[in-house]
Structure 1
Amino acid sequence: MDNMAGELRDNRGRGDAEWSFPAIHPEGRKFGIGAVGISLLFLLIGWGFIGWPLLVLSAGVFAFFRDPERVVPQGDRIVVAPADGLVSLIAQVPPPPELQGSDGDGAPGLGAEPVTRISIFMSVFDVHINRAPIAGTVKRIVYIPGAFMNADLDKASEENERQHILIERGDGTRIGFTQIAGLVARRIVPFIKPGDTVAAGQRVGLIRFGSRVDVYLPAGTDSSVLLGQSVIAGETILAETGKHGLLEGVSQ
Structure 2
Amino acid sequence: MFIQFHKEGAKIILGATVAATVIIFGADYLVANPWLKMVIQVFALFMLIMILQFFRNPKRITAINDNHVLAPVDGKVVVIEEVYEPEYFKDKRLMVSIFMSPINVHVTRYAVNGLVKYSKYHPGKYLVAWHPKASEENERTTVVVENRVFGEILYRQIAGALARRIVNYAKEGMQVVQGTDAGFIKFGSRVDLYLPLGTQVNVKLNEKAVGGKTIIAIKQ
Q: Does the TM-score normalized on the shorter chain lie above 0.5? A: yes
The letter of the residue matching 1:79 is V
| Whole-Å separation in 2 of the counterparts to 1:59 and 1:165 | 32
Question: Partner of 2:130 in structure 1?
Answer: 152
Deviations 1:182-238 (A, max 9, x none): 010110011232111111111100101121000001232032100110000000000
Considering fraction of residues, name the structure with more helix: 2
Root-mean-square deviation over aligned CA pairs: 1.7
The letter of the residue matching 2:22 is L
| Whole-Å separation in 2 of the counterparts to 1:161 and 1:30 | 22
Q: C-alpha displacement at 1:155, in angstroms?
A: 2.4
Please give the secondary structure, in 2, of the residue aligned with 1:204: strand
Residue 73 of structure 2 is aligned to residue 92 of structure 1: no
Alignment of 1:161-200 (within 5 A): 161-170=139-148, 173-200=151-178
Residue 116 of structure 2 is aligned to residue 138 of structure 1: yes
Q: Does structure 2 conserve the Cα–Cα contact (< 8 Å) formed by 1:82 and 1:132?
A: yes
Question: Partner of 2:3 in structure 1?
Answer: 22
Q: C-alpha displacement at 1:172, in angstroms?
A: 7.2
Residue 61 of structure 2 is aligned to residue 71 of structure 1: yes
Deviations 1:133-162 (A, max 9, x none): 100111111111111111023321112111
Residue 196 of structure 2 is aligned to residue 218 of structure 1: yes
2:13 to 32, 36, 45: 32
1:209 to 181, 187, 190: 187
| Whole-Å separation in 2 of the counterparts to 1:26 and 1:116 | 33
Q: Answer 1 or 2: higher relative contact order, Cα 8 Å, separation at least 6.
A: 2
| Whole-Å separation in 2 of the counterparts to 1:171 and 1:238 | 15
Go from structure 1 to structure 2 and tell me whether the alpha carbon gap of 1:35 and 1:223 turns closer, same or farther (over 3 Å shift): same
Q: Does structure 2 conserve the Cα–Cα contact (< 8 Å) formed by 1:116 and 1:223?
A: no
Go from structure 1 to structure 2 and tell me whether the alpha carbon gap of 1:171 and 1:117 turns closer, same or farther (over 3 Å shift): closer
Q: Which runs of 4+ in 1 moved over 6 A?
A: none
* Residues 128-137 or 190-199, more deviating: 190-199
* Residues 226-235 or 86-95, more deviating: 86-95
Question: Partner of 1:248 in structure 2?
Answer: none
Question: Partner of 2:71 in structure 1?
Answer: 81
Residue 14 of structure 2 is aligned to residue 44 of structure 1: no
| Whole-Å separation in 1 of the counterparts to 2:130 and 2:174 | 30
Q: Which runs of 5+ in 1 are unaligned?
A: 1-19, 101-111, 244-252
Q: Does structure 2 conserve the Cα–Cα contact (< 8 Å) formed by 1:130 and 1:233?
A: yes
Please give the secondary structure, in 2, of the residue aligned with 1:92: strand
Q: Does structure 1 conserve the Cα–Cα contact (< 8 Å) formed by 2:150 and 2:196?
A: no
| Matched positions, count | 211
Please give the secondary structure, in 2, of the residue aligned with 1:157: helix
Q: C-alpha displacement at 1:56, in angstroms?
A: 2.3
Q: Which runs of 5+ in 2 are unaligned?
A: 32-36
2:104 to 126, 137, 151: 126
TM-score, length-scaled by structure 1: 0.79
Please give the secondary structure, in 1, of the residue aligned with 2:206: coil
Q: C-alpha displacement at 1:171, in angstroms?
A: 5.1
Please give the secondary structure, in 1, of the residue aligned with 2:104: coil
Please give the secondary structure, in 2, of the residue aligned with 1:50: helix
Q: Does structure 1 conserve the Cα–Cα contact (< 8 Å) formed by 2:24 and 2:44?
A: no
Residue 46 of structure 2 is aligned to residue 56 of structure 1: yes
TM-score, length-scaled by structure 2: 0.89
